[in-house]
Amino acid sequence: MKFSNVALFLLVYFAFAKAGTAQIQHMEPPNWWAGMEHSQVEIMFHGNNIGEFKNVNSDLEILNVRHTENPNYLFVMVETANKPAGFYDITLGKAGIKMSKNFSLQERDENSQQRTGFDSSDAIYLLMPDRFANGDPSNDSVKSMTEKVNRADKGGRHGGDIQGIIDHLDYIKDLGATAIWSTPLLEDNDVSYSYHTYAQSDLYNIDPRYGTNELYRKLADELHSHDMKLIMDYVTNHWGATHWMMKDLPTETWIHKFPDNKGKDFPVEGYANSSYRQSTQMDPNASERDKTYAEKGWFVSTMPDLNQSEPLVLNYLIQNAIWWIEYAGLDGLRVDTYSYNEKDGIAAWTKAIMNEYPNFNIVGETWLHDQAQIAYWQKDSPISAIQSYNTNLPSVMDFTLHDAILEAFKEPEQGWDKGMIRVYENFVNDFLYPDIDNIMVFAGNHDTNRISGDGVYNSNLENYKLAMTLVLTTRGIPQLYYGDEIGMMGNKGTNGDGDIRRDFPGGWENDVNNAFHKTGRTQTQENYHGFTKNLLNYRKSKPVLHTGKLLQYVPEENCYVYFRSNENSRVMVVINNNVAAVTLDLSRFVEGLNGKNRGIDIISNSQIDLNKSLKVAGKTSLVIDLD
């Protein structure tokens, strides 16, 4: 068949015009690294009719090409093992039309695979970037992002950012913290309440109102130069309804939908909310329906639940987490709503991360109110082993201790299950945990009431001191919530989440009170800060408080005594929760004292005689260094 020049011109013109409609809009991950354990990388291409390109070629070995029912997606699995760093072309073709994309393999940082994660030698400072400090007012509102700054709105964006964190690293280090856990920083384009950033709209980009990917990497570098660590808050269970894929899902099975909710199209057809009954995850008597709604129901209507039983979804999440660890040089992950994930999916995700970084650490949010149910989620748990299940998760959060702290120090009299007995009984169950040192302990976080706030301690400094003495000297990894160290107030129950996520005073230009500096703190703020700083910095230099054995005594008269010890060191802790003074007969504590008859109380900096008896003032704690 012969073509006229005009016909040939039109044929070529329309061919290129059609090719132009198939431009690549997203390529994720955008790059990888040479020498990775996870060497088989699944690259997702997204663009109009990109799936029509059936011929795929590359300098990298093509292991698999997957087309989905959505013609706008193409998934290409490549092998990067034994390939040096450099640029590799990936060419997509169909019917004489080709388009190419460079995919780079970068050099890994030295000893990247062997990086050491956070551990019990650390003290973690949890902050919400939007509420901590505004280091760059120019990005408070961004044209491309829906929600704009409104500091007057408790639930709005206030303008805090990554630069604000960098600007105050000296404050955090001076306080005695050794690691920062920041709530999520990835893009969240919700129309409101986007400041918490748990409804993410792009998993490969920092929200521009916080900064850039490069600035996030600088934060990690700055922390490392301060001999501190960075923990990323990672969300595997869901993302935001405004995520760019929600307008064009790769597969019908990408998110969980409920057929019995057919026709209910808010925010998508088949939506159903989680029951939040995560005890169904290990309940041998649970109905399949209850397990399904707990595990696969959406956390809220603006957070679509990801289907981790879909291999494309699971691998996407694995690669994204590894990408951020490698790109930013992270020292750990805190995984949001860990127990809401599909059990097999989250176990595979966790194992893949730990295979890549065997000395890394991941702590999961395991918000349950029973020690056995929390212990179920820790790696090698004998409890979950009964069901032939292993999460591979190194660390869990001690929510039962938090429960005890919220009540115990408001109870001046000891009962059978009241006062310091609550705390004692929590540690009785430590036998349930396979790695007791690798548990996060805390008095409060961004989802719980402020411990000094209305309804908890009501600005009672004495109760704060008792609680923080416990958190900073017991087993596990202590975590402090920003602002608690200056007695920041807030009541979630009466005023909403925004009230427990107030702006740190001094983080914004023209703030009247600047609590980042001693001269700017009120006397009350300084009383809180001075106590916290003293104890945190003592803990930092005292390895026995990191890994020493915990020996506890049944509380009497609402006074709780325990010891931390190893072969070379010993610390005695006394927490008198009684409003009256208590006199301790020290002969009861011979095992813990181990021949020691004097020590220094780190809190009061005074010498303590431990020969016969010890009088402890009401609502007072002692941390007695016996070395």
Percent helix, strand and coil across the chain, each rounded to 5? 30, 25, 45
Residue in 147, 167, 202, 365 annotated catalytic: 365
Q: With left for phi above 0 and alpha for psi between -120 and 50, is residue 153 left, alpha or beta?
A: beta
101 touches 27 (CB < 8 A): yes
Distance CA 504, CA 482 (A): 8
Q: Where are the alpha helices (DSSP H) in 395-500?
A: 399-408, 420-428, 461-473, 492-495
In SS3 terms, 315-359 reads as HHHHHHHHHHHHHHCCCEEEEECHHHCCHHHHHHHHHHHHHHCCC
Integer angstrom CA distances of residue 55 from 90, 95, 98: 10, 9, 9
Residue 445: both structure tokens together: 């976080």
Helix ranges (H only) for 410-522 are: 420-428, 461-473, 492-495
Query: Is 140 among the catalytic positions?
Result: no
DSSP code for 432: G
How far is the C-alpha of 130 from the C-alpha of 101, rounded, in Å? Answer: 36
Rounded Cα distance, 235 and 176, in Å: 28
Work out the number of other CB atoms within 10 angstroms of the CB of residue 530.
13
**Dist CA 203 CA 320 (whole Å):** 7
Bridging pattern class, strands 362-364 and 179-182: unpaired
Q: How many helices (H) and strands (E) does the chain have?
A: 17, 26
Q: Name the active-site residue from 336, 398, 484, 499.
A: 336
In sign, the C-alpha dihedral spanning 267, 271, 276, 281 is: negative
Tokens of 516: 């980042």
Q: What residues does 193 pair with on adjacent strands?
A: none
Give all strands of the β-sheet with 549-556 in edge-to-edge order. 549-556, 559-565, 570-576, 620-625, 598-601, 606-609
Q: Is 365 a catalytic residue?
A: yes
Q: Provide the token pair at 595.
A: 């021949």
* Cβ atoms within 10 Å of 262's Cβ, excluding its own: 10
Facing residues of 441 across strands? 478
State how far the Cα of 582 lies from the Cα of 84, in Å rounded to an integer.
69
What does the radius of gyration of the chain's CA atoms come to, in whole angstroms? 27
Residue 485 near residue 532, CB atoms below 8 Å: yes
Q: Are 76 and 42 in contact (CB under 8 A)?
A: yes
DSSP letter assigned to residue 238:
B
Q: Residue-wise over 558-567: b if at least 16 C-beta within 10 A, else e?
A: bbbbbbbbee
Q: Do 363 and 335 form a contact (C-beta atoms < 8 A)?
A: yes
Active site amino acids:
336, 365
